[in-house]
Structure 1
């Protein structure tokens, strides 16, 4: 056992440049005791003075740079390290442990979808707002009114000369079954905001414009009010909200307020459609539905957005002229 330990230790001493001229001897006695204690001190000093090969490191890494400088200048700090379980390895080289100045960056794998965007897309209303489009696709409840008025104010501040496009698909202050969901003041708030704008306002009906939504459709700039071919418009009287267990006097107060809102709605529709107040009031006695041609005839819109419709209608020959060119005479002319 003594000879097995002696050979590798002597070879280590011979490889040391500092002690190659005076290699100390080392042997163990039969009881396992140490015969020459100076030999171990020489070995540790030789290890401390030996040059440690350095692998290539990242010069921008503060921890590795400090570790490399310590290994070159004072290798004994790394070789003769005290055992302390409370300190992570090599972090006690710093006076106070520090984190990296910038976190590590890991590129997302795109093996399953190489077209995946690196950043999340914006929400849809923001994308439409970037194109100066305001979309009213819900009944006119307070949350919708707040958003629409804010978007109109923002677009006017952004550019007071560029046009604003309002796409409408709303049942107004009621739901499709006729139940009241919002006060008439919600529609009037959006209408008053439109009237204060300096911009040209293009309104487009893309589904349904009922009640107060029909008023907003007709309130666009003259000549810039449009309707899809299969959209519907409808004007009706405001409805009394559910009275519940209200006293009779309160019900009467609400009824008077509804009548006032009806008169205001009739006057505004008369103003924007070009019809008389009596005409609008008569058709509003019951719900009055209008398809695209009928809404154009009534004055709610100016044009129907049917691609190529104008050219097709312009090329159509009237029936009398067609019969004349074909040599056909009616019975009355015979």
Structure 2
């Protein structure tokens, strides 16, 4: 088998030389391979062409060895096409390696290409069991908050949930109604159905229905930033437009029912009587952190320090009251 492997190697050198000559002069014809016996090859070319060691794990050399043992004439009569590497036609579907430039481009592109879209901010907070209400209570906000609360309870019904509130409730800061009172009641009912502890923290403002959510946290776990504001007020009648008088009266009655419900819930969570809450709600009742604590809306005020803060980890805050 070794002697037959010498013939292709010798012919490869002849083919390479022939290809160079053909490139320099088109008139020169490539000589046909000679059919030499093993004895002639061994006598004439043994001293000139060294036999390289055969790696048994090399698929190309293994293929050549198998062809040489089964049909040696295939190697001797191999194609003399100068555009084709030697003996590549022995393979049914030869595959050449990509050029280094192609490999480098593909690696650099795939290396920096994101494998998945980056998560949004609510998803990142949800991973820390934090629900943030930073908008008025419109249907889209209610849908997201209720879904997050149900998901966190499903994930772990024993770990606490941290509800951060900075919302004007169902109205804007100028008093215009942007959502129905049922939006706030929907979040409140979801909080009441949870088995988890609810840690509420007011940052910025908690007005109207948002103040109810702040006071609905677990007793002893209701917090407020020192410069945040809380305010309770009566529900407002939505814009009636061109409604008939009878429809306006129906809406007014519904607003009164929502007001009475809000008064009862605030009295329940603040520890005040219904009469007290109804009296202070005749006009907008603003509360800073100290006044909100006195009224029973919150339990503690957070300030800068090294005390552990709701939301996990140390948040450089301490309880000042």
Instruction: Tell me the equivalent position of 1:27.
Output: none
Q: Does 1:208 align with 2:209?
A: no
- Aligned partners of 2:319 and 2:140: how far apart in 1? 42
Query: What runs of 5+ residues in structure 1 fail to find an aligned partner?
Result: 1-15, 21-33, 52-58, 83-89, 314-334
Structure scoring higher RCO (CA < 8 A, sep ≥ 6) equals 2
Task: Please give the alpha-carbon distance, in whole angstroms, between the structure 2 residues aligned to 1:287 and 1:119.
Answer: 48
Shift of 1:79: 4.5
3-state SS of paired residue (1:230): coil
Q: Which deviations, in whole Å up to 9, do the C-alpha atoms of 1:273-316 show, x marking residues without a partner?
A: 11111111111111111000010011100100023598878xxx
The residue aligned with 1:173 is: 170
| CA drift at 1:44 | 3.9
| Alpha-carbon distance in 2 for matches of 1:17, 1:197 | 84
Change (3 A) 1:17 1:297: closer
Partner of 1:303: 300
What does residue 332 of structure 1 align with?
Answer: none
The size of the alignment, in residue pairs, is 256
Does the 8 A contact of 2:302 with 2:319 survive in 1? no
The 5-angstrom pairing of residues 98-247 of structure 1 reads 105-107=106-108, 121-247=118-244
More strand as a share of residues: 2
Distance, in Å, in 2 between the alignment partners of 1:186 and 1:272 is 19
The alpha carbon displacement at 1:94 in A equals 3.5
| Aligned CA distance change for structure 1 residues 245 and 46 (closer, same or farther; 3 Å) | farther
Match of 2:259 in 1: 262
CA distance in structure 2 between the partners assigned to 1:299 and 1:46 by the alignment: 107
Q: Match for 1:294 among 284, 291, 295?
A: 291
What's the secondary structure of 1:269's corresponding residue? helix
Q: Give the secondary structure class of the aligned counterpart of 1:106.
A: helix
Deviation, structure 1 residue 121? 4.2
In the superposition, the TM-score normalised over structure 1's length comes to 0.64
Mapped partners of 1:205, 1:222: distance in 2: 15
Task: State the alpha-carbon separation in 1 of the partners of residues 271 and 175 from structure 2.
Answer: 27
Alpha carbons of structure 1 residues 79 and 287: separation in structure 2 relative to 1, 3 Å = farther
CA distance in 2, matches of 1:77, 1:233: 92
